[in-house]
Structure 1
Amino acid sequence: MKTANAATKPAAAATTSSLSTPAAAEKPAEKTPGTATKPATGQKPAAIAEKPVAVSAQTPGTKPAAKTAAKTGVADVAAPAEKRVASEPMPRATPTGPEAPEATIGTDAAFASTAPAVTHPQKLRNISEVRHFFRTNDVPVFFIGATPFNLLGLDRWVRNFTYVSYYNAWDGAHPRVFTPAHKPYREFESGEEINNWLLLNAEVRARMARDLRPGVRPKVAMVFFNEETEQICNELGYDLILPSAELRRRLDSKIITTQLGNEAGVPSVPNVLTKGSDWTTLRQEADKAGLGNELVVQTPYGDSGKTTFFIANEAEWDKHAEEIVGEEIKVMRRINNLAVAVEAVLTRSGTVVGPFLAELAGHSDLTPYPGGWCGNEMHPDVLTASQRARAMELVQRMGDRLVVEGYRGFFEVDVLVDLDTDEVYLGELNPRISGASAITNVTAGAYADVPLFLFHLLEYMDVDFDLDVNEINERWEALSGADVWSHMIIKETSDRVELLTATPATGLYYLDATGALVFNGAALDWHLLQNESEAFFLRVYGPGDYRWKGADLGILVTKGRLQIDRNGTSQLSIRAKHFIDCIRSGFVGLPLDGAVTADYAVGAGVKTPG
């Protein structure tokens, strides 16, 4: 891990400190104890969104990513004020920077005035009518999760859209984010458990019932859920606007994805599906399929590279055998590939395909997991015109096959481009909202029409529609080169476990004339960003939380690219590393003793959505 490019003081001194200029980088970050007190039992927050960034652990019914993983402890993060530290070690900019904008959603639906129910056309036939429908929507829609990251900013488009979040990065200041005040100590092992806890929480239920008209059922969306979630929503009178948990669990398997792709004429990287047993058998199966000496082995479930293993010899097999033996596995030829993510929505009018995004994966500055997903970037050169056309056909074919399975709504596909042969392959399928949504919803196509997720909402709202999906896809493809956005998930990469006493605040930042990253003020989302010198940081863990290896500290969103091509591989740019180092320098914590550290094994079985 690189040394931070800037030093910060604890939050207690935040009113007089800021991220220093690069010239001051030699001074290490101070770790003066703050006023936070160590709880009797450890608090280890869960990870953020999957590809993104809500929270989840192993898919139900699968073995944990690490057998030694401990449970995820989430303590009372609503501790009394005197026991917590303010989360703004990077104060507002001095007059040398641009004027700080107010935290605002501008013209958008979140602040549309209360109005009587609006009469809509019997059938929506164009984007203008779709925009009007959501602008005047009178049915409450809730996105529930550990954080609102995946769909942050959707409240600009949809009236009565609210986020119910376990962690509140704005400390209560975001008008559309609701977090229960009373959160006693509770151990969570997955994102599903967090979401179910939120649904059952009395404060949340009261908020969801507020101003609810008789006969209206709130609509509920989330990244991860299970059969218990479905039962809770059914009993409480909520409409869970997602495909069934049973179907999603089936489609989440990398083995099933490969089989469905084969049936749909969507090729995967040359592979063989088999069962993990021993090194000799693995080599025999690989040789029979002509996969070569360097192999990639995947078990059915897992994300962020945690269940993807690169194996070229027996020693590497022995290193990972415990996670592989007894599992159904996919054994692939290792290729020199470009990983591209694309989101799409299956609707009654056809499959709407979003923009293609390059992936940030395996960067050691961002994640401790080799090959692990850690962000996306959108730019005109993600794919060539030929690759884009073939990838578009791949996604649409996969969508047609999912319709046969009874699936509808939002899904994400990982596409792999072999840089040596120019072949385009199916990588993975994520039958859910993904972390790429954060960028998908601010593209030029989204502003020209509506964000991609609104097509998912249409499919589950009480409204009929008949849209020209082919025309929408053609227009979005034409607009694909009109915008450049990136985001990266900043994980803790060291082995330390610390109680955080100061953290960077959620909001807008900019690089000043000296190169220092300066906090420029509060903001509700990243829609106000204008150029590459600006960034929005969404804090996940705040003062009083713990950081540990693999924990998601926060998400940084910016205009412009974060990767460059160097010697045929994608590497983080100098600008990206500067952002990372500056943000990391704002996290200050108190080391824990060995007994507590042992309770928080790497990852603790928690995964980011992806």
Structure 2
Amino acid sequence: MLRGTSDLRGYFRTNRTPIYFISPTAFNLLGIDRWVRGFSYVNYFDSFAGAHPQVFVPQERPYREFTSIEDINNYLLSHKEVLDHVAGGLALFVFFDEETEKLCEEIGLKIALPSAELRHRLDSKIVTTQLGNEAGVPSVPNRLGRASNYDELLTLADGLGDDLVVQTPYGDSGKTTFFIKGQRDWDAHAEDLVDEELKVMKRINCRAAAVEAVITRHGTVVGPVMRDLTGYPELTPYRGGWCGNDIYDDALAPEQRDRARVLTEQLGDRLAAEGYRGFFEVDYLLDVDTGELYLGELNPRLSGVTSMTSVSAGAYADMPLVLLHLAEYLDLDYELDVAELNARWARSAAADEWSQLIIKETRADVELLTAAPQTGIWRLNEDGSATFRGRGNDWHAIHEEAEAFYLQVLGEGEYRYPGADLGLLVARSRMQTDDNELTPKARQWIEAIRAQFEGIPLAPAAVVDRPHDALAFKA
């Protein structure tokens, strides 16, 4: 019997079960190998140019056009070099499907996540809304239904006004959230909305926040509350697209932060009743005019903010929540005082500052990259330029505000195209103001990193087979 987080930490330091994070990059769980013996990464993109001892990337990677992260993961699981590398144990993914489950069963890997079928059902924004209502976690005033034209949308939205936010059930919020105010907006997005089940919401003046949690056999443990960065044209071409996070002490007012934690625990307990266990992430919308906190979106999986949760002060005071997730799927016999642990996380989770920027290609051009910034520690100079300070395995060693860790996704010899994930930057300073503007330092970092890229424009005939946007870090 392991009693509490101290015993669990000791167990993972001596763990002998191989655990693989299989994903296009190591981003979401980078640094967990510091905590868990036998933890490694199987990736498609070699962000570290072979320098990270726990990252395995197959050498033979002929050009393929992938349509999703699931496609990339299934390709890896079918690759001879990967099959020669893995040796049983657990597999973690951000995204996987039924084909992934079949491939893992064939090679003796146990997927340490709820089934693809359950995750897919819970991932629906419609189902999320319904479960939230049952759990006492309110959504922005909304209507659920269908509309084949703008007049039907207004009928469905009765009582919500004519300035509307419309979502379809599945997909990255940046690509499946539509702002409709008038016939022209409907016409621009009708192809995406007709024949879909819709969540139609009143548009509010809001701030976005996120929180991760893990459902254990002993209850739901809630991580730090952080602010989302959304829709900045300097970072993403998608108007509602997530593009980063800030953790800091007053990301929300104390009463709002406490309410977010309570609501997350309630939602976790409701998901547990559906048979779900392990990691999940919730996006909240704070109505600036009323102070009300609303459920925005549920991600039943590891997500793009797992990287921040795992490096917060709460994680170092106890341990990253991912280890509790693993304890469930390793079937460890352990005890845990969830109320006590949640109280400690509430006190310490936002005690220091961390931020991340997800840098996408925002231009309409397609280029073959001839130069790209390396993975490692960068320093922001007084003139706004950035200097490469040296390689590193993750961002845990960052101490100064003038330094940041850049993780490369697309490098020399690869294509950059509209919406492509170029890389991400992690720093120990805020990147967004209280008024939802990028800080001057954030703008300097973005410009300095983008200045490191060089490319050769492709002729129109060569653009036809450009890569698909398949690498979103969070959906």
Distance 1:605 1:155, change over 3 A: closer
Contact 1:189 1:606 in 2 (8 A): no
1:351 aligns with 2:220: yes
Distance 1:505 1:607, change over 3 A: closer
* 2:424 aligns with one of 545, 549, 555: 555
C-alpha distance in 2 between matches for 1:281 and 1:515:
51
* 2:460 aligns with one of 594, 604, 610: 594
Q: Corresponding residue for 2:201?
A: 332
Q: How many corresponding residue pairs? A: 475
Q: Corresponding residue for 1:461?
A: 330
Q: Corresponding residue for 2:363?
A: 494
Q: Which has a greater percent of helix?
A: 2
Deviation, 1:514, is 4.5
1:428 aligns with 2:297: yes
TM (norm. structure 1) is 0.77
C-alpha distance in 2 between matches for 1:347 and 1:462:
11
C-alpha distance in 2 between matches for 1:218 and 1:291:
51
Q: Corresponding residue for 2:106?
A: 235
Deviation, 1:391, is 1.1
Deviation, 1:263, is 1.4
Deviation, 1:433, is 0.2
1:137 aligns with 2:45: no
Contact 1:303 1:608 in 2 (8 A): no
1:585 aligns with 2:441: no
Q: Corresponding residue for 1:151?
A: 29
1:361 aligns with 2:247: no
Q: Corresponding residue for 1:99?
A: none
Distance 1:451 1:606, change over 3 A: closer
Which structure has more relative contact order (CA 8 Å, sep 6+)? It is: 1
1:247 aligns with 2:125: no
Task: Classify the secondary structure of the residue corresponding to 1:306.
Answer: helix
> Counterpart of 1:163 in structure 2: which amino acid?
Y
Distance 1:608 1:447, change over 3 A: closer
Task: Classify the secondary structure of the residue corresponding to 1:564.
Answer: coil
Contact 1:269 1:426 in 2 (8 A): yes
Percent identical: 56
Q: Corresponding residue for 2:340?
A: 471
C-alpha distance in 2 between matches for 1:507 and 1:605:
24
- Residues 275-299 of structure 1, C-alpha deviation per residue, up to 9 Å, x if partnerless? 1311011111212xx1112100000
Q: Corresponding residue for 1:296?
A: 165
1:260 aligns with 2:131: yes
1:269 aligns with 2:134: no
C-alpha distance in 1 between matches for 2:354 and 2:377:
15
- Residues 111-133 of structure 1, C-alpha deviation per residue, up to 9 Å, x if partnerless? xxxxxxxxxxxx11121101100
Q: Corresponding residue for 1:305?
A: 174
Q: Corresponding residue for 2:320?
A: 451
1:503 aligns with 2:381: no
C-alpha distance in 1 between matches for 2:463 and 2:103:
35
> Counterpart of 1:609 in structure 2: which amino acid?
K
> Counterpart of 1:155 in structure 2: which amino acid?
D
Q: Corresponding residue for 1:7?
A: none
Contact 2:236 2:359 in 1 (8 A): yes
C-alpha distance in 1 between matches for 2:39 and 2:470:
31
Task: Classify the secondary structure of the residue corresponding to 1:322.
Answer: helix
C-alpha distance in 2 between matches for 1:442 and 1:519:
22
Question: C-alpha root-mean-square deviation of aligned residues, in Å?
Answer: 1.3
1:609 aligns with 2:460: no
Contact 2:68 2:469 in 1 (8 A): no
1:196 aligns with 2:67: no
Q: 556-565 or 149-158: which moved more?
A: 556-565
Q: Corresponding residue for 1:224?
A: 95
Ranges in structure 1 where 5+ consecutive residues have no aligned partner: 1-122, 210-216
- Residues 388-417 of structure 1, C-alpha deviation per residue, up to 9 Å, x if partnerless? 121111111111110111000000001111
C-alpha distance in 1 between matches for 2:171 and 2:15:
37
Task: Classify the secondary structure of the residue corresponding to 2:25.
Answer: coil
> Counterpart of 2:329 in structure 1: which amino acid?
Y
Q: How does 1:402-417 map to 2 (within 5 A)?
A: 402-417=271-286
Deviation, 1:597, is 2.2
Contact 1:534 1:558 in 2 (8 A): yes
Contact 1:253 1:300 in 2 (8 A): yes
1:540 aligns with 2:409: yes
Deviation, 1:605, is 6.8
Deviation, 1:340, is 0.5
1:164 aligns with 2:42: yes
Q: Corresponding residue for 2:51?
A: 173
Contact 1:150 1:433 in 2 (8 A): yes
Task: Classify the secondary structure of the residue corresponding to 2:302.
Answer: coil
Contact 2:415 2:466 in 1 (8 A): no
> Counterpart of 2:126 in structure 1: which amino acid?
I
1:399 aligns with 2:253: no
Contact 2:236 2:360 in 1 (8 A): yes
Deviation, 1:368, is 0.5
Q: How does 1:99-118 map to 2 (within 5 A)?
A: none
C-alpha distance in 2 between matches for 1:607 and 1:435:
9
Deviation, 1:587, is 0.6
Contact 1:304 1:608 in 2 (8 A): no
Contact 1:165 1:179 in 2 (8 A): yes
Deviation, 1:599, is 3.7
C-alpha distance in 1 between matches for 2:311 and 2:341:
16
Deviation, 1:501, is 0.5
- Residues 514-550 of structure 1, C-alpha deviation per residue, up to 9 Å, x if partnerless? 5431100000000111121010000100111000010
C-alpha distance in 2 between matches for 1:388 and 1:607:
27
C-alpha distance in 1 between matches for 2:279 and 2:325:
6
